[in-house]
Structure 1
């Protein structure tokens, strides 16, 4: 019985860490100017690939061209620490179940952040309308040639 509880706890921790990793990756998305390495106002496939190579190099602490378990663990530990700092409502340095946002709450927060274009913590009628227009354009694009969007 204790083994099952321990395994459930470990699995739960892995799932939560995966959520933290995803959230952290979303926050680390570079802006256009960062990706546009030559500053010409357009992104090439080479510039996009260069970003991926740079991120790999940042993680490759010893510069051997490969990521070891230790290098990956260090990154996971940094992300876990950031997750605790972000969600630890009572300030005890630990995450209790009630401090963990649900998947739906995380999704809703991401959607809110995308619509709140001026980052003022509220959605104006104009921001709401712009979001609806973007969603309509995406929906119409998927219907148009059958190759856009998912699938």
Structure 2
């Protein structure tokens, strides 16, 4: 039972972090919106092989306009929430397609509880490698998840150590 509760906490934490990153990025996989990442070529609208500040600003403006559904130049809580719901729904649909091993359109507990890198996640949380996760390790891993992408090292890893690519 403790294992199921632990998995539920991990899945819940990951869901909250994913939802936050979805809103921050403008879509589940990047600024292009649900299910797609914008390529360099899409941002480089003049095709000169370089992305200018103006092109970045145009991309941000287009993303803002997509969220500002009534076109009043500001994004309300309702508009932001509606965009977030669309993005989370698209991510959930993608997750269902990726994990639905038997193709029945639903996820069993077995299909859901075998996330990619599940063992790696436990190993990263278990910084001292003793086979269990202490409260301190759990809190450090949560801190790392919140700081991910800001140049911080993984729990249990020295700041100057080489990082592996996942």
TM-score scaled to structure 1, two decimals?
0.48
Q: Which has the higher helix share?
A: 1
